[in-house]
Amino acid sequence: MTAAAQKNNRTALTMALVALGFLALAFASVPLYRAFCQLTGFDGTPLRAEKAPGAVAGSIGVRFDANVDQKLPWRFEPVQNQVRIAPGERTTIYYEAKNLSARPITGQAVWNVTPDTVGQYFNKIQCFCFTEQTLQPGESVKMPVVFYVDPKLRQDDGTKAIDEITLSYTFYKVESSGTGR
């Protein structure tokens, strides 16, 4: 093999490795972005917490929103539409879901907090959105969300004037591979 052919083979191999690297990056980008948002609260993603720090003076309103993708035959709604809480206060609210179909169906909720700037201060301790939910035909369940709003929200110049936060969920059908769900 000539030197030119070896150089061409090396160049082709390098380009193939670069292409594979970009392909791997494309597949990894969504889970990496999701992990980044959950870690930092970026883009309105609430943070996960172990416990609330305790209430401080003042209050903030939290409004609850519920949506269902059209492929999922469920009814899904908050039990209460809004609450006023003290920053740092551990709060439990409930959403209710009902399977309107004649077969078991699994769904999973994705969430968002608006305004986006408060995502880093909205902490969930317990949430149905952390796992897939399977409902039997006609089954109705109440699902808790335990959360707190970090008191640091009132110290941040970009968020201290915010008086209402919206916690929004959308349930999507979990597509299974042959499990009958």
Q: Considering the entire predicted model, what is its pTM?
A: 0.67
Longest dimension (CA), the chain: 79
Closest of 146, 64, 179, 159 to residue 119, by C-alpha: 159
More confident residue, 75 or 17: 75
What pLDDT digit, counting tens, does each position of 40-80 carry? 555 545 555 555 555 556 899 999 999 999 999 999 999 99
